[in-house]
Homo-oligomer: A and B are copies of this chain.
């Protein structure tokens, strides 16, 4: 098809909606603080719901506060083609993380309304409760309940630091719905697409507006404790030390080496490290640190796990210290549905938008939804790869391009 004849979303309207929503919980430095199930979240939800109703969509809320807004299709038997993301933010979050995916979905509906295009299948735009996990854990709570990872009663019983439960917070903001989580009128989504800023630097470095997301890296996180013996830095010769800091430093370097051995998809990060007693002239007796391993295959994660265990034992033995390793988080790698990934790739190609296949290094609601429905994701670049930060930024032309790809991909499944 000639790309000039494809329907296009209204980039200016989408951008304005992003800026309007970002006004709720706006921070002085240009970011957004709209933490899940707060009063700010209620205001944000109310605004998006109002926009959905103005677009003629039918709004449902489920028992964990996920919101779905449906544009009817022409075939009563067709299952919905859905999109969505989240509108909750980190405490010093940005305007685009999550919000882009939700408002791009709304913009698809508005565009189809403007152009008078009916689809065979119903279309839905969803926003999922508490993706960020800032106030309540676990993260990706709403989509996790939808997918059956947690049950709704468990999620509603989670409490914040003040002892307020998710259930009470949902009541307080008026978003505890009646619909059982995971039920979709007419049957589970025929397809689900989520547009999102990349939250990484790959697309920007490659100079491309569209990332075709083939899947999400699996994650295995660990707590590591290295135990040596505190001693005076001065009187203790190197050979008689049990230096937990030295051993931990070598382990940190090894985490990086193990990840490099799994190029291009291996990731290894030590983000947290705590030294005890942490005094200038005392050889540290204990260091605690985190390891975050990611890879695209479970085999790869298994190799990383085994390599870490062997290397850490060797390092500890050489340094005269003990090491304990405890796995604390596991997310399996996720391959998105080839059919949906192809739809995203074809949509970008049809629109003449330069694109590349990428993987998601972070978790997204789409990773849980993929357990229930064929799923794909669309990434657009963000400035310097930064998110979860008030500096998070994206270019209007990339936002527009991503929403156009979403429109084409949804139409491919819904027409």
| Chain A residues with a Cβ under 8 A of chain B | 198-202, 205, 217, 219, 221, 229-238, 240, 243, 245-246, 248-250, 252-253, 256, 259-260, 263-264, 266-275, 278-284, 290, 292, 294, 360-363, 384-389
| Sampled A-B contacts (29; CB under 8 Å) | A200-B231, A200-B240, A201-B231, A201-B237, A202-B235, A221-B280, A229-B384, A230-B389, A232-B385, A232-B388, A234-B292, A235-B385, A236-B361, A237-B264, A238-B259, A238-B260, A238-B268, A245-B270, A249-B250, A249-B270, A250-B253, A253-B253, A269-B283, A271-B281, A271-B282, A271-B284, A272-B280, A273-B278, A280-B292
Q: In the bound complex, do residue B385 and residue A267 qualify as a contact, i.e. CB atoms below 8 Å apart? A: no
Which B residues are CB-close (under 8 A) to A236? 200-201, 267, 361, 385
Beyond the given A237-B267, A271-B275, please list 4 additional residue pairs across the A-B interface where CB-CB is below 8 A. A200-B234, A232-B385, A233-B294, A280-B290
Which B residues are CB-close (under 8 A) to A275? 271-273
Once bound together, how far apart are the Cα atoms of A362 and B229, in whole Å?
A: 18
CB distance from A136 to the nearest CB of B (A): 17
Once bound together, how far apart are the Cα atoms of A389 and B232, in whole Å?
A: 10
Which B residues are CB-close (under 8 A) to A253? 246, 249-250, 253
CB distance from A53 to the nearest CB of B (A): 34
Which B residues are CB-close (under 8 A) to A252? 245-246, 249
Query: Which 6 A-B pairs rank lowest in CB-CB distance, beginning with the nearest?
Result: A200-B235, A234-B361, A249-B252, A235-B361, A233-B269, A234-B362
Which B residues are CB-close (under 8 A) to A386? 231
Q: In the bound complex, do residue B233 and residue A267 qualify as a contact, i.e. CB atoms below 8 Å apart? A: yes
Once bound together, how far apart are the Cα atoms of A56 and B246, in whole Å?
A: 53
Return the chain B residue nearest A361 by Cβ: B234
CB distance from A232 to the nearest CB of B (A): 5
CB distance from A155 to the nearest CB of B (A): 21
Return the chain B residue nearest A262 by Cβ: B238
Q: How many copies does the complex hold?
A: 2
Once bound together, how far apart are the Cα atoms of A49 and B205, in whole Å?
A: 74
Return the chain B residue nearest A232 by Cβ: B199
**A231, A362, A386, A389 interface centre (most CB from chain B within 10 Å):** A231
CB distance from A372 to the nearest CB of B (A): 22
CB distance from A45 to the nearest CB of B (A): 26
Q: Known contacts A245-B270, A253-B253; is A199 also within 8 Å of B282 by CB?
A: no
Which B residues are CB-close (under 8 A) to A294? 233-234
Once bound together, how far apart are the Cα atoms of A248 and B386, in whole Å?
A: 22
Once bound together, how far apart are the Cα atoms of A260 and B246, in whole Å?
A: 13
CB distance from A216 to the nearest CB of B (A): 9
Which B residues are CB-close (under 8 A) to A389? 230
Which B residues are CB-close (under 8 A) to A219? 234
Which B residues are CB-close (under 8 A) to A199? 232, 234-235
Which B residues are CB-close (under 8 A) to A267? 233-234, 236-238
Once bound together, how far apart are the Cα atoms of A282 and B237, in whole Å?
A: 36
CB distance from A393 to the nearest CB of B (A): 15
Q: In the bound complex, do residue A292 and residue B201 qualify as a contact, i.e. CB atoms below 8 Å apart? A: no
Q: Known contacts A234-B363, A385-B240; is A271 also within 8 Å of B250 by CB?
A: no
Which B residues are CB-close (under 8 A) to A217? 234
Which B residues are CB-close (under 8 A) to A271? 233, 245, 275, 278-284
Return the chain B residue nearest A264 by Cβ: B237
Once bound together, how far apart are the Cα atoms of A122 and B151, in whole Å?
A: 86
Return the chain B residue nearest A266 by Cβ: B238
**A229, A269, A278 interface centre (most CB from chain B within 10 Å):** A269
Q: Known contacts A202-B237, A271-B283; is A231 also within 8 Å of B363 by CB?
A: no
Which B residues are CB-close (under 8 A) to A362? 232, 234-235
Which B residues are CB-close (under 8 A) to A278? 271-274
Once bound together, how far apart are the Cα atoms of A253 and B250, in whole Å?
A: 7
Which B residues are CB-close (under 8 A) to A243? 256, 269
Which B residues are CB-close (under 8 A) to A245? 252, 270-271, 273
